[in-house]
Chains A and B, each alone.
Chain A
C-alpha cells in the first residue's frame, strides 16, 4: 500500500510538473500546441498546459543591450572616426519575435546590428567631424534609431534607445591632434611671455624716462643755483677789485707766481741781473730795470 502511495505521489508529481509552468515577471512566454502558437504572453504566475502536446518557450522581457564594437566611420569630409555604440532593445511582439528569429536573440541582434551600423554610416557621412563630435551626437543617435525602427518592428523588437558610447579619433589622427594641441599651447605660452616682456619693457622704460627727467631737472636746478652763486661771487669780487685795478693785477700775479711756480719740482735758471738780485750783485743796488709795473 505504501508502495502504491509512493508511486502515486511520483506519478502525480510528474503530471503536475508536465502540466504546469510558471511565468516570471521577467519572462515573455509563448505557449505552443504541437508547434503552433496557442497563447502569447500569459500573465506572470502559475499556468497549466496539456502535457506533451503543449510546450512553452520563454524569452527575456527586460531591456537588453546590443553592443556594437568599435568601427571606423567616415565623416562627410572623409575623416575617420572610431565609434562604438550600443542599442537598448526589448521584445515587443513576442510572437513576431519568435517567427522572425526563431527565438534566437543572437540572430535578432545580428540583424539589428547590421541595420544600425548602416544607419550610423549614413548619418556620419552627412556631417563633418566637428559637428559629429560636438553638436550632432543626439541627432545622429535619434536618426539611426528611426532608420532601424522599421526593421526592429519586423523583428518584433522595440528599439528603446541607440546611444553612441565612444567616439575616438584614430591613432594617427590623435598624433596630429596632439601636435596641434602642443602648437596651440606654445602659442599661448609665447603670448603670455611676450605680453609679460612687453609690460616689463614698458615699466622699465618708464622708470628710465623718469630717472632721466629727474636727473635733468636736478641738473637744471643745480646749474641755476651755481649760476646764482657765481653771479653773486663775481659781483662781490668785481666790486672789490675794481677799486684799484692796477694793484689787483699786481697782487693777483704774485699769488699766481706763488701758486704755480713754488715747490721742490720747480727749477729756476736765473740771471743775476734780474731785479730780485739787485742787491745780490751790488750792495749799492744799481737797478738794471725798474720794478715791473704791470
Chain B
C-alpha cells in the first residue's frame, strides 16, 4: 500500500478518525468513511456468512431449503446495501466545513448542516472546523538587533481561511504556523533594538510579525489567516532583570532627588524671607526705640537743666549726695582712716567677696540692642521707675535704685 509508506501516514486518505462508525447508519458523527481494514473484515465476515449459509444449506437439502435461504440472503444484502448507503450521511456542525472527495478528487465544500455523499469507497468527506480560532504561544530568549537578549512571550491566533488549501497544500499546516511564527518574530526582534522592543516597539513588532507570517503562509498556500499576534511579554532575561529594575529605580531616584531638593528650596527660601522680615522689624523696632529713648532722655535732661540753672549749687549737692547715698546704701562698707595711720591691715577679702558671683547677672528678657555706645540710652534711672530702663544693655543696671 503505497499511501502507507513512512512519512505519509499523517494524512492517510482512508484512515480518518471515525473508522468504526459505519454501523450507526450515518447519523450523529458518522462523518468519516470507515477504515479499510475494518471494511475488509466486515466484508469477509459477510462473505463467510453467505458461503457458510450456502454450504450448510447445500449440505442439508438440495432444493427445498434454497428459497428460504435465498430470501434471507437477499434481505441481508438489502440491509447491507441500505447500511452502506446510509453511511454516506454526515452532519457538519456550525463553524465546520466538509470537503467532499470522490476517489480522491475534490468535489465540493459542504456548509454546515446534514449532508450525504456517495458512500465509501466512492466519496469521502473531510470535516474541519474553520471558524475556531486556534492559538499558539511561544516563549523564548531572542537576540535583538543590538546583540542583547530579550525574553519574549508571544501568542498567535489564526484560523482556517480556505479549507481546500489548508487540506491539500501543506503537510501539517499547524506545525507550519508554529515554524513561521518563530521565524517571523525572531526576524522582527533581530531587526530592532532592545530598548525599542521593551518600550514603545512592542505593538509594532507584533503587528509586523503578523504581516511577515501572513506573507509566508500565503506563499505556502496554507489557507490560513493569522488574525492576531500579540507580544504578551517582553522583558529582559532573568539574569539581568535586577540591573534593569535598578535602572528603573534610578529613573525614579532622579525624580526623587530633584523633588527632595525642591522641597529643601521650598523650605529654605520662605524661612529666609521670614528671617529677613524679622531682621527688618527688629531694626525698625530698634530705631523707634532709640529715637524715643533719646527724646525721653533729652527731655528729662532739658527739664532738669532748667531747674538746675535756677539754683545750681543746691541742686548739684543734692544730686551728688543722693547718688552716693544710693550707691552706698545697698553695698558693704568698710571705713578706714588710711590717711592718718599707715598701719598695714589684713582685710578678709575672700570673705568680703563671698557670694558675689551669684548675684546680679540674670539676663533681661528683651532682646539686647546692638551695642553702640553713643546711641545707648544714657539715663537708665528715669523717673517713672525701673521700667524705663528696659532695653538697657546691662540688665543689672536696671536694678539700681532711683535717685530720688
* Other-chain contact of B186, A166, A181, A193, A224 (Cβ < 8 Å): A166
Could you name 9 residue pairs across A and B whose Cβ atoms are closer than 8 Å? A6-B54, A44-B101, A63-B170, A163-B183, A174-B141, A218-B277, A236-B291, A262-B400, A270-B333
Residues B58 and A3 in contact, CB atoms below 8 Å apart: yes
CB contacts (< 8 Å) of B106 on chain A: these are 25, 44
Interface range for A: 35 or more
Residue of B nearest to A106 (CB): B7
* Other-chain contact of B220, A160, A182, A243, A248 (Cβ < 8 Å): A160
Residues B244 and A196 in contact, CB atoms below 8 Å apart: no
Known contacts A25-B104, A26-B168, A271-B338; decide if A203 and B149 are in contact (CB<8 Å).
no
* Other-chain contact of B400, A137, A224, A259 (Cβ < 8 Å): A259
CB contacts (< 8 Å) of B73 on chain A: these are 2
B140 interface residue per 8 A CB criterion = yes
What does DSSP make chain B's interface, helix, strand, loop or mixed? Answer: helix
Residues A185 and B261 in contact, CB atoms below 8 Å apart: no
Q: How far is the CB of A267 from chain B (nearest CB, A)?
A: 4
Residues B268 and A208 in contact, CB atoms below 8 Å apart: yes
Residues B253 and A192 in contact, CB atoms below 8 Å apart: yes
B131 interface residue per 8 A CB criterion = no
Interface range for B: 35 or more
A6-B51, A168-B143 are known contacts; what are 4 more A-B pairs with Cβ within 8 Å?
A: A88-B176, A230-B372, A258-B401, A269-B336
- CB interface residues, B 331-360, toward A, < 8 Å: 331-339, 347, 352-353, 355-356, 359-360
Known contacts A6-B54, A185-B244, A207-B268; decide if A45 and B330 are in contact (CB<8 Å).
no
Q: How far is the CB of A159 from chain B (nearest CB, A)?
A: 12
Residues B190 and A133 in contact, CB atoms below 8 Å apart: yes
**Bitwise interface map of B from 233 to 250 toward A, beta carbon under 8 Å scored 1, else 0:** 000110110011011011
CB contacts (< 8 Å) of B372 on chain A: these are 226, 230
Known contacts A25-B104, A199-B261; decide if A174 and B319 are in contact (CB<8 Å).
no
- CB interface residues, B 153-197, toward A, < 8 Å: 167-172, 175-176, 179-180, 182-183, 186-187, 190-191, 194
Residues B319 and A165 in contact, CB atoms below 8 Å apart: no
**Bitwise interface map of A from 260 to 272 toward B, beta carbon under 8 Å scored 1, else 0:** 1111111111111
Residues B149 and A268 in contact, CB atoms below 8 Å apart: no
* Other-chain contact of B291, A6, A232, A244 (Cβ < 8 Å): A232
Q: How far is the CB of A99 from chain B (nearest CB, A)?
A: 17
CB contacts (< 8 Å) of B394 on chain A: these are 259
* Other-chain contact of B272, A103, A134, A165, A210 (Cβ < 8 Å): A210
A43 interface residue per 8 A CB criterion = yes
**Docked complex Cα distance between A248 and B298 (Å):** 11
* Other-chain contact of A186, B243, B276, B290, B352 (Cβ < 8 Å): B243
A56 interface residue per 8 A CB criterion = yes
Residues A45 and B301 in contact, CB atoms below 8 Å apart: no
Q: How far is the CB of A78 from chain B (nearest CB, A)?
A: 16
Residues B246 and A186 in contact, CB atoms below 8 Å apart: yes
Q: How far is the CB of A20 from chain B (nearest CB, A)?
A: 9
Residues A192 and B251 in contact, CB atoms below 8 Å apart: yes
B294 interface residue per 8 A CB criterion = yes
B109 interface residue per 8 A CB criterion = no
Residues A237 and B297 in contact, CB atoms below 8 Å apart: yes
Residues B50 and A204 in contact, CB atoms below 8 Å apart: no
* Other-chain contact of B319, A137, A210, A223, A250 (Cβ < 8 Å): A250
Residues B236 and A247 in contact, CB atoms below 8 Å apart: no
**Docked complex Cα distance between A206 and B268 (Å):** 10
Residues of chain A whose beta carbon lies under 8 Å from any beta carbon of chain B: 2-3, 6, 10, 22-27, 43-46, 56-65, 86, 88, 103, 105-106, 129-130, 133-135, 137-138, 160-161, 163-169, 174, 177-178, 180-182, 185-186, 188-193, 195-197, 199-204, 206-208, 210-211, 214-215, 217-219, 221-226, 228-230, 232-234, 236-237, 239-241, 243-244, 247-248, 250-252, 254-255, 257-273, 276, 291
* Other-chain contact of B298, A3, A182, A241, A250 (Cβ < 8 Å): A241
Residues B378 and A252 in contact, CB atoms below 8 Å apart: yes
Residues B243 and A214 in contact, CB atoms below 8 Å apart: no
Residues B244 and A165 in contact, CB atoms below 8 Å apart: no
* Other-chain contact of A105, B7, B169, B240 (Cβ < 8 Å): B7
**Docked complex Cα distance between A112 and B352 (Å):** 125
Known contacts A106-B7, A243-B302; decide if A135 and B191 are in contact (CB<8 Å).
yes
B363 interface residue per 8 A CB criterion = no
B200 interface residue per 8 A CB criterion = no
CB contacts (< 8 Å) of B330 on chain A: these are 262-264, 266
B256 interface residue per 8 A CB criterion = yes
Residues A263 and B104 in contact, CB atoms below 8 Å apart: no
Known contacts A181-B149, A254-B320; decide if A137 and B336 are in contact (CB<8 Å).
no
Residue of B nearest to A265 (CB): B356
